[in-house]
Amino acid sequence: MEHNRREFLKASGLFAGGALLNPLSGYGYNSAVDETIRVALVGCGGRGTGAAAQALSTAQNVQIVAMADAFKDRLDESYKNLTAKKYKNAAGAIVDTKTKVNVPDDRKFVGFEAYKQAIALKDVDVVILATPPGFRPWHFEEAVKNNKQIFMEKPVATDAPGIRKVLEVAEEAKKKKLNVVVGLQRHYQNNYLQAIKRIQDGAIGDIVGGQVYWVGSSPWMKERQANWTEMEYQMRNWYYFNWLCGDHISEQHVHNIDVANWVKGSYPVQIQGTGGREVRTGKAYGEIFDHHTLDLVYADGTTISSQCRQFEGTWNKVDEAFVGTKGRIDSFDGKKTILKDYKGGVIYQHDDKGDINPYQVEHDQLFAAVAKGEYKFADAENGAKSTMTAIMGRMATYSGKMIKWDEAIKSEINLFPDKLAWDANPKIMPGPDGLYPVAVPGKTVVI
């Protein structure tokens, strides 16, 4: 499958990231009627709460008017945090979010169907989708069906059927001119924007190699409680189950993989790699691996090395580096973002003075576009294809096979449960010893 540069730019939303000024054509928010932009938060964990606070910290008159989560305690905690804390906006001014959160009890929705109730509200203009990523394709579909402007977190799915759904819905969102911002926030981070623009303009020549990393320590884990069903246990420990998380190669490392795709201006045609469970082997850690190492192979033959792992007490790095025919970049870390030629000359060095937190920028830009009635952001297609790249990486490490894009995207392996209910069983269950089945390279089937 050939991915040319123009196709990539279209998919990545770079055509839409500031150039399209089309009116919203009657879909969603209408600033001529009411200057308040009303938001429904779907997914009230830490990232959802943070995204809501960032929405409230924009320059627009934003109100949170509905909240939805599978768990009441998570929703209540999020509501408490949003109404008890004060935040700084991009200009450094204090934002008292308590005055901007207007969610009465009859607009606090709980359960697996809660998202539908929140999204369906007629006065909601924008939805924030921040549940575990396994739910994202269906929540995205519901938001587009209801003509909402959308911010959704990455990754956008956990298997190929989910990716295909997101790609299908992304086309519908474009037809409706609905803004869609995906939380791959490096696309809204100034040093990345400035450096990658120069790279794509040829400052360091053709990209012939590179490395992308997310190597760090293990995240949170929740102890199983006696009154939890298996469904509740997996939902509360969603990070460790692929139907919910996609493995940390998708949930975290997708950021770095996305940068590789962005720099190359395309998506890999094939991936091979290795991985496993070396230090995190207990039953508390579900089914995911603790390390993955990949070769991302692009259509022109370029190979980008990719590494992610979660080991305590080891060397850590979250960054990217690329080699071109005329120069290189060794880091995307503030002032260390330097393009150099092979004689030691500096082609470009980023000055991070005045740079704004990209998590805030993505909301600033989305809500500014909504307030002006502009259609500017179409991130979903690139979000889906970079997520698919990460899923291919998981397929490669789980199987030990060379995974080709054209075959992987057609996979019918669906990780999602057949039924969503607290007394229903997910597709993966623990054995008598409490351990979950784990992929075995050479034996596990992924396509």
Q: Are residues 215 and 170 in the same domain?
A: no
**What is the distance between the alpha carbons of residues 200 and 418, in angstroms, rounded to a whole number?**
44
* Angstrom distance (rounded) from CA 381 to CA 265: 14
Q: What is the domain range of residue 282? A: 190-354+388-408
Q: Are residues 233 and 119 in the same domain?
A: no
pLDDT score of 94: 80
Residues 364 and 344 in one domain: no
Same domain, 94 and 147: yes
Adjacency order of strands within the sheet including 62-69 = 108-110, 62-69, 37-42, 126-129, 149-152, 180-182
Is the distance from CB of 54 to CB of 84 less than 8 angstroms? no
Q: Please report the pLDDT score of residue 440 as a whole number.
A: 98
- 436 within a domain of the structure (yes/no): no
Mean pLDDT per block of 10 residues along the chain (447 residues) reads 46 44 48 78 97 95 97 97 78 76 97 98 98 98 98 98 98 98 98 98 98 95 96 98 98 98 98 97 96 98 98 96 98 97 97 95 98 98 98 98 98 98 98 97 97
365 and 401 within one domain = no
- Tell me: do 282 and 404 sit in the same domain: yes
Do both 82 and 217 map to the same domain? no
Q: 39-57 pLDDT, tens per residue? A: 999 999 999 999 999 999 9
Q: Residue 235: which residues within 8 A CB-CB, separation 6 or more?
A: 70, 71, 132, 244
Burial of 354 (0-12, 13-18, 19+ CB in 10 A): exposed
User: What is the number of alpha carbons within 13 Å of residue 260 lying toward its C-beta?
Assistant: 32
Whether 239 and 245 have beta carbons less than 8 Å apart is answered as: yes
What does the DSSP assignment read for 295-357?
Answer: EEE-TTS-EEEEEEEE-TTS--EEEEEEEESSEEE---SGGG-EEEETTS-EEEE---TT---
pLDDT given at position 86: 72
Instruction: Looking at the structure, tell me whether residues 330 and 203 fall in a common domain.
Output: yes
* DSSP state at residue 253: T
Considering the domain architecture, whether residues 45 and 181 belong to the same structural domain is answered as yes
Number of domains in the chain: 2
- The predicted pLDDT at position 91 comes to 67
Statement to judge: residues 151 and 237 lie in one domain: no
Statement to judge: residues 182 and 231 lie in one domain: no
146 part of a folded domain: yes
Length of the chain: 447
Q: Domain with 228 in it: what CATH number?
A: 3.30.360.10
User: Could you report how far apart the first and last alpha carbons of the chain are, in Å?
Assistant: 17
The pTM of this model reads 0.93
423 inside domain: no
Residue 147 lies in a domain: yes
Could you read off the pLDDT of 248-305 as tens digits, one per residue?
999 999 999 999 999 999 999 999 999 999 999 999 999 999 999 999 999 999 999 9
pLDDT of residue 92: 72
Reading the block at residue 74, the tokens are: 């998570």
Structure confidence by residue, pLDDT tens digits, 314-367: 999 999 999 999 999 999 999 999 999 999 999 999 999 999 999 999 999 999
